[in-house]
A and B are shown apart, each in its own frame.
Chain A
Amino acid sequence: MNILIQSLPLLIMPAVAAFILLIGAMWRRISGESLLIMAVAGLVAALFFGWQGFLAGTASFPADIIFDKIFYLTVIIIAIALALAMLVSYNYLAERKLPWPEYLALLLFAGFGAGLMAAGTDFIVLFIGLETISIAAYVLAGYTRDGSSKEASIKYFLMGAFASAVLLFGIAFFYGATGSVLLSAAPINKLLMVLALALIISGAAFKVAAFPFQWWTPDVYEGSPLPVTAFFATAVKAAAFIMLFRIVAGISGGLGLKFESLLIALSVATMTFGNLAALFQENIKRMLAYSSIAHAGYMLIAFVVLGKDANLAGAALLFYILAYIVMSMGAFGVLIYLSGGEKEFCNMPDVAGLGRRSPWLAAVFGLFLLSLAGFPPTAGFVAKFYLFKSAMAHGYVLLVIAAVINSLISVYYYMRPVVAMYFGEFQQERSLPKIRYSVAGVLIFCAIFVIILGLAPATILAILSH
């Protein structure tokens, strides 16, 4: 009974998803609003039970699953990200007359997959979680009827399935090397183990879009519908990082094997590539895709620190993920707000003159971009500061210098939309869209959160470092 209560935050999401699917199929005339409210209520319940579980402490399940503080914190973060992604897509789906039940159910199933990825102490549980979230993501990428969305879907599917197969082959060799699929298993055969780790790290690097395996990201992010891109950049990315965290923590715990230099190289290469490629993008959606690659590079710094101090690395990573979720959800939210009717407006000229046309929207967009670039007093600054400080404390000076130089480069492309908004030419032919309350609500929430995390991070940092 106790175990059932402990696992409630994880189980509530698929239950609500199945309920929404059934209701949607049986009662065709039910409005999108009521389904949306149901889904968000389910996520709030998951958040609540997650918080209760966090206060209650660690509970281990008999079979290969652990409900520790990291799991509960991840569920809370994922629930927030999913709720924001649902609210932000309200007008987008309503204006295009896209079906609601499947959309909400897929997002909730993805949340379940993310929860499994945070709870597994066993490769198979992690892999099932990964497939759950990936399959939902493939379908969501192709959710609208236009060609670019379908193309993004097939690209994501082929690349994702390929990466999953590589990861799975690595898991098979891991099983061969140790005789068990537990993360903490000790190797019998060293050669097989090296092969297994190479395959597993490649597959996982693909999922977090780290350097040599990042090329699918821009196309998929650009082609997918905007709210789905926001979901990819926040919830999917967070889940992939938590899975990588579990794998690296588990393996280095059981083996004493160090692959620090590999992680440092991955981190520096990823952030440098992301920032350089983002410099000259004309499409803001594509620019944010490259920026998400760069941020993945920063987050990989936490994995370098992981070998020295797991607690500090975990707290820094979770704080960075939380900050990245609110600021990038906000940035995508502004683009969604601007994209009226059937078209998406994501190019640089589309935001030109926004500062005069709708000063509030421009101010909020500017805030999110400044936060992504890492200016004080925003969430992005504190997250980077905390992450770099933890790396500094363990003597990775060169890595921190590389990261700081990268942050400076990134200021250029984050400032380009800001310059366009305030100094660009006003475009007459397009009238300002009518007020969209749900998107506006999400923007206000994200903006307040970005400022709170930036000005008073102490409480949340204390929670995250439990």
Chain B
Amino acid sequence: MEYIVLSVIIFCIGVAGILLRRNLIIILMSVELMLSASNISFVAFSKMHGNLDGQAVVLLLYVLAACEAAVGLAIIVGLFRLKGSVDIQLFRDLKK
């Protein structure tokens, strides 16, 4: 049960990071925190139910998280080349 609480706390830290921070790299890290929070709860529930489904799922999710991080970093590099900064406030040319 403690682990579920931990995962909820980490998930909330991730959400707060996305909403409050302005640096794209930090926002990307916050997204990764949210994914890791789900991984923790998968493992915790796996122990609770006594089956291994949750742990197998975590292995798959690591691959997905890695893909997402790779694509995200590539996009951020592209943006850095464009403006010379990764501050999210600079990217608001499209109409709000």
Residues of A whose CB lies within 8 Å of any CB of B are 124, 127-128, 131, 135, 138-139, 142, 147-148, 150-155, 157-158, 161-162, 164-166, 168-169, 171-173, 175-176, 179-181, 218-219, 222-223, 286
Given A162-B18, A168-B38, A286-B95, A128:B64 Cβ within 8 A: yes
B65 CB to nearest chain A CB (Å):
9
A373 CB to nearest chain B CB (Å):
24
Q: Which residues of A contact B37 (CB under 8 A)?
A: 169
By the criterion CB–CB under 8 Å, are A168 and B61 in contact?
A: yes
By the criterion CB–CB under 8 Å, are B35 and A165 in contact?
A: yes
Given A128-B60, A142-B78, A165:B38 Cβ within 8 A: yes
Cβ-based interface call for B5 (8 A): no
By the criterion CB–CB under 8 Å, are B45 and A175 in contact?
A: yes
B49 CB to nearest chain A CB (Å):
4
Given A173-B41, A219-B94, A179:B34 Cβ within 8 A: no
By the criterion CB–CB under 8 Å, are B72 and A150 in contact?
A: no
Q: Which residues of B contact A218 (CB under 8 A)?
A: 95
A173 CB to nearest chain B CB (Å):
7
What number of residue pairs across chains A and B have CB atoms under 8 A from each other? 110
Chain A interface SS verdict (over half): helix
Cβ-based interface call for B57 (8 A): yes
Q: Which residues of A contact B45 (CB under 8 A)?
A: 172, 175-176, 179
* 8 shortest interchain CB distances as A-B pairs: A165-B34, A176-B45, A179-B49, A172-B41, A172-B38, A168-B38, A219-B94, A161-B31
CB 8 Å contact bits of B48-61 with A (1 = contact, 0 = none): 11010110010011
Q: Which residues of A contact B71 (CB under 8 A)?
A: 135, 138-139, 157
By the criterion CB–CB under 8 Å, are A175 and B57 in contact?
A: yes
Give Cα A171 to B34, complex, Å.
13
A164 CB to nearest chain B CB (Å):
7
List 21 A-B pairs, Cβ < 8 Å: A135-B67, A138-B71, A138-B72, A147-B82, A150-B91, A152-B94, A153-B75, A154-B91, A162-B31, A164-B68, A165-B31, A168-B61, A169-B38, A172-B42, A172-B45, A173-B41, A175-B46, A179-B49, A180-B51, A222-B95, A223-B94
By the criterion CB–CB under 8 Å, are A171 and B38 in contact?
A: yes
B44 CB to nearest chain A CB (Å):
8
By the criterion CB–CB under 8 Å, are B94 and A175 in contact?
A: no
Known contacts A153-B78, A176-B41; 15 further A-B pairs (Cβ under 8 A): A139-B71, A147-B82, A151-B94, A153-B75, A154-B75, A155-B91, A157-B75, A161-B72, A169-B11, A169-B34, A169-B38, A173-B41, A176-B4, A179-B53, A219-B94
Cβ-based interface call for B13 (8 A): no
Given A147-B93, A148-B93, A161:B68 Cβ within 8 A: yes
Given A165-B14, A165-B34, A154:B79 Cβ within 8 A: yes
CB 8 Å contact bits of B72-96 with A (1 = contact, 0 = none): 1011101100110000000111111
What is the chain A residue whose CB lies nearest that of B67?
A135
Q: Which residues of A contact B96 (CB under 8 A)?
A: 219
Most buried by A among B4, B18, B64, B92: B64
Q: Which residues of B contact A155 (CB under 8 A)?
A: 91, 94
Given A150-B79, A158-B18, A161-B68, A124:B41 Cβ within 8 A: no
Give Cα A138 to B76, complex, Å.
12
Give Cα A243 to B75, complex, Å.
27
What is the chain A residue whose CB lies nearest that of B81?
A150
By the criterion CB–CB under 8 Å, are A158 and B31 in contact?
A: yes
By the criterion CB–CB under 8 Å, are B94 and A222 in contact?
A: yes
Q: Which residues of A contact B51 (CB under 8 A)?
A: 179-180
Q: Which residues of B contact A158 (CB under 8 A)?
A: 18, 27, 31
Give Cα A231 to B4, complex, Å.
39
Give Cα A155 to B64, complex, Å.
19
A137 CB to nearest chain B CB (Å):
10
B91 CB to nearest chain A CB (Å):
5
Given A138-B71, A147-B82, A162-B18, A219:B57 Cβ within 8 A: no
A251 CB to nearest chain B CB (Å):
18
B69 CB to nearest chain A CB (Å):
9
By the criterion CB–CB under 8 Å, are A142 and B75 in contact?
A: yes
Q: Which residues of B contact A219 (CB under 8 A)?
A: 94-96
Among B11, B31, B34, B94, which residue has its beta carbon within 8 angstroms of that of A148? B94
Q: Which residues of B contact A142 (CB under 8 A)?
A: 75, 78
A54 CB to nearest chain B CB (Å):
29
Given A158-B27, A173-B41, A124:B78 Cβ within 8 A: no
Give Cα A286 to B96, complex, Å.
11
What is the chain A residue whose CB lies nearest that of B49?
A179
Q: Which residues of B contact A148 (CB under 8 A)?
A: 93-94
Give Cα A154 to B71, complex, Å.
10
What is the chain B residue whose CB lies nearest that of A130?
B64
A72 CB to nearest chain B CB (Å):
26
What is the chain A residue whose CB lies nearest that of B91?
A151
What is the chain A residue whose CB lies nearest that of B72?
A157
Give Cα A148 to B27, complex, Å.
20
